[in-house]
Structure 1
């Protein structure tokens, strides 16, 4: 699950996503995703490292428990996955997720 389309494209560029994807386009849409998530064994969340992203993660965790996996820790220090990608390229760092 991604908060925005640009983060999804960043994940594609990094080669870190599976086959099923939900793009919220805003964390205010998290409630719309809930009915589509119940049959999954794991829900990988690439949400922003901000208050809104953490709130959405909390809503999902409250509903689905340990099925929810917070992937934002992979790009801690950055607000989102796209910032991580662009910062890493700008700084000529090796991308490691």
Structure 2
């Protein structure tokens, strides 16, 4: 591997992360006064519409809770740099979890 070439597996992962991030960002922009349970249902449906299924239940709960507080969930450092992630309504800690 040379230069800026990205392994196919990483390209696939980044592409999937972008699809997930777009679904989350769209939902947070149009969340209104929806409950975390309704946000979770809509998130699962939006992800399924984009071909993403089988995400862990605790992850879905965490994302929908964050969205319920007006805080978008950032999927990965890559999506933070490349997607149009809305600003949070509430202050949140900034940390990267490896």
TM, length-normalised to structure 2: 0.29
Structure scoring higher RCO (CA < 8 A, sep ≥ 6) equals 2
More strand by share: 1
